Amino acid sequence: MGKLLRKPQKGEAGDNVRIIQEITRENSPLQYIEFKALELGAGAVYGETLGKMECCIVVLTGTVHVSDGEESFRNLGTRQSVFERKPTDSVYVSNDRSFEIEAETSARVALCYSPSLEQRPTRWIKAAENGVEQRGRNNNKRLVHNILPDSDLSVNSLLVVEVFTESGNWSSYPPHKHDQDNLPAESLLEETYYHECDPPQGFVFQRVYTDDRSIDETMTVENGDVVIVPAGYHPVGVPEGYTSYYLNVMAGPKRIWKFHNDPAHEWILQR
C-alpha cells in the first residue's frame, strides 16, 4: 500500500464512540489539514477542546446535538445514508473553543480541521444553506453540495464540499491540481477525500500524481477509506454498478480555490 491511502481503523474514543479515520499532521504529509471520522451509538457523547485549529463538524448520517458551551444546536442531520443525496447540517467551531457532540440516534460525523488564529463565531451551517450544483457533462457529471465554499467568508481556512458521482462516471476530471501559490492562476490547497460507496462492497479508483511524478499513486479505494492529496492531480473513476460519495476538505495559506488542469488532458473539455 502507498502512503496516500488510509484504511478505516477501529480506535475507541470513549463509551460507544469509534474512530474510523484519523488523519493528523503527525501521521501524514499534510500541513494545513487534519481529519477525523467517528461513529457514535445513540446517546454517546464526544468532546474536544480546540487549540489553534478551527473545525467543521459534518453530520454524515443520523441525528446529533452540538454545543460549544455557549450555543447549542439540536437535532442536526437530515439522512440515514449519504446516498439519499440530501444536503446535511454542519457546525463550524473556531479556534480556542470546545465542542461536544451528543448522538440522538446512531450517527456518523466527520471532523474537518485546519489551522486558525482569528477566532470567529460558532455557526450552524444549515442543510438548506448548502449550495447545490451539477458539474460536468457526459461521463464527467457529478452532484456537489457546497458546505464551506470559498465564497463563505465566515471562516479562516477551511473549504468543505460533498460530491456524488454516478455509476460509470469520472470525477475531479479532467485531472486538475491546486498545489502552487501562484494566484490568480492557481492556489495552494492540500486536500483529503473521505470515500463511501453504494453498495458498500464497491470500490473506486483514484490516482494522485505530480508533473514530475515524484508523487504517482493509483489506488483502489473502498468504503470508508481516505485518500490524502498533499499535491498533484487527483482524478476519481467509478466502476459500472456503483455510486461514489466523497467529502472533500481543502486548506492552504490562502482561502481560495483556483485549480490548474493537466494540459495533457484538457482537450477533453473541448469535445
The pLDDT of 74-89, averaged and rounded, is: 98
The pLDDT of 251-256, averaged and rounded, is: 96
Under the phi-then-psi rule, with left for phi > 0, alpha for psi from -120 to 50, and beta for the rest, what region is 219? Answer: beta
Q: List, for residues 175-195, the tens digit of each pLDDT value.
A: 999 999 999 999 999 999 999
Give the number of other CB atoms < 10 A from CB of residue 260.
18
Give the number of other CB atoms < 10 A from CB of residue 63.
20
Domains plus CATH for the chain?
5-270 (2.60.120.10)
Give the number of other CB atoms < 10 A from CB of residue 221.
22
The pLDDT of 54-83, averaged and rounded, is: 97
C-alpha cell at 2: 502507498
Q: Which class for 180: exposed (0-12), middle (13-18), buried (19 or more C-beta within 10 A)?
A: middle
pLDDT at 13 over 80: no
Contact 217, 2 (CB under 8 A): yes
Q: List, for residues 132-159, the tens digit of each pLDDT value.
A: 999 988 899 999 999 999 999 999 999 9
Q: What are the angstrom distances between the C-alpha of 56 and each of 35, 137, 150, 172, 214?
A: 10, 30, 14, 22, 31
pLDDT at 1 over 70: no
Q: What are the angstrom distances between the C-alpha of 110 and each of 54, 75, 174, 253?
A: 13, 16, 27, 22
* Confidence (pTM): 0.96
Measured distance between the N- and C-terminal CA atoms of the chain, rounded to whole angstroms: 36
- What is the per-residue pLDDT for 144? 97
pLDDT at 233 over 80: yes
Torsion angle of the four alpha carbons 148, 152, 154, 157, in this order, in degrees rounded to the nearest 10 = 60
| Residue from 5, 10, 12 nearest 20 by CA | 10
